[in-house]
Amino acid sequence: MATAMQAVSPREEARPEGWGRPLIEVRELTKHFGPVVALAGVSLTVSAGEVHCLLGDNGAGKSTLIKTLSGVHKPTGGDFVVDGKPVTFSSPREALDAGIATVFQDLAMIPLLSITRNFFMGREPVKRVGPLSFMDMDFANKVARQEMRRIGIDVRDPEQAVGTLSGGERQCVAIARAVYFGAKVLILDEPTSALGVAQTSMVLKFIRQVRAKGLGVIFITHNVRHAYAVGDRFTILNRGRTLGTYAKTEIGLDELQTKMAGDKELQDLSEELGGTV
């Protein structure tokens, strides 16, 4: 773990224009499914050039929140403001058009399709020949290879299937795709939960690269260490509410862990187990 952390140590980066401008603001967002209250009042601000970590145990409302932000669900109440304008999305496509791209853990890529075809899925570059339009494979392959190299994935052939990539590489391709197509805010749903140490470090490193471009990143995880390695601010969710938002300078790793555990009993349990939870 220690080596992995070092690999993502902060670096000096040039800051693009608009740095720190708020991209997404939600205030007292609520979402009810019939009698079930999934979100009971969540407030959150994501600014350009920050990695905003969303922490919480299972059932805290993380996935409902991201599905609401990415246009899958409509909020029941509260304000949802993008770039200073209030919005209501009725489909993921609308959220995408507004610059909010979500990378879901399992649904990011189609393993049997080539990297190029995955990368341009739904947004294929087109070349016209008379009345017919063809997919511009040369251009697509060139871009895919170039973008893969930028991440640091050694793509031998952009027409090889995504299935031949490792889990971490796939996550990176999915993120790179969102960035390439002009996302302003990236929502990453548990991008590291199924990955090994080395692959996790690769994804975390890439998240830092994305931030350096001035994108806002919402990073959902329940692994506090992963969050602390790349996060600028941390919002803790519990039972559908925000418990609080903390900047990295205000809070240490242990304290964050304790706050996320939230519950007194769990904290005791954690101490009993020697702090290994």
Partner 1 sequence: MAERSDPGTPATPIVDVVDERLGRQSWYQRLMVRPDSGALAGVVLVFLFFTFAAGDTGMFASDGILSWMTVTAQLMIIGSGAALLMIGGEFDLSVGSMIGFSGMMIAIPTIYFDVPIGVSVVLAFVVAMAIGALNGYIIVRTRLPSFIVTLASLYILRGLTIALSILFTNRTIVSGLKEYSDDSFVASLFSAKLFPGFFQWLADNGIILKLPNGAPAVPGIPMLIVWAFALAVVGHVVLTRTRIGNWIFASGGDANAARNVGVPVSAVKISLFMATAFCATVFAACQVFEFGSAAADRGLLKEFEAIIAAVIGGCLLTGGYGSVIGACLGALIFGVVQQGILFAGAPSDWFQVFLGAMLLIAVLFNSSIRRRVTGER
Residues 6+ apart with CB under 8 A from 217: 46, 50, 51, 52, 185, 186, 188, 207, 210, 211
Nearer CB in complex with partner 1: 152/182 = 152
Supply the minimum distance, in Å, between the C-beta of residue 166 and partner 1: 5
109: which 2 tokens? 């890529």
Question: Where along the sequence are the contacts to partner 1 (CB under 8 A)?
Answer: 7, 92-93, 96, 102, 104, 107-113, 117, 120-124, 126, 133-135, 137, 149-157, 160-161, 163-166, 168-169, 198-199, 201-202, 205
Q: Where are the alpha helices (DSSP H) in 92-243?
A: 92-97, 115-119, 137-151, 167-180, 197-212, 224-230
Supply the minimum distance, in Å, between the C-beta of residue 266 and partner 1: 33
Nearer CB in complex with partner 1: 33/134 = 134
Supply the minimum distance, in Å, between the C-beta of residue 114 and partner 1: 9
Of residues 178, 234, 175, 181, the one with CA closest to residue 207 = 175
Nearer CB in complex with partner 1: 181/267 = 181
Residue 65 half-sphere exposure toward CB, CA atoms < 13 A: 37
Nearer CB in complex with partner 1: 150/222 = 150
Supply the minimum distance, in Å, between the C-beta of residue 75 and partner 1: 20
Supply the minimum distance, in Å, between the C-beta of residue 146 and partner 1: 8
83: which 2 tokens? 């770039």
131 vs 15: CA distance, rounded Å: 45
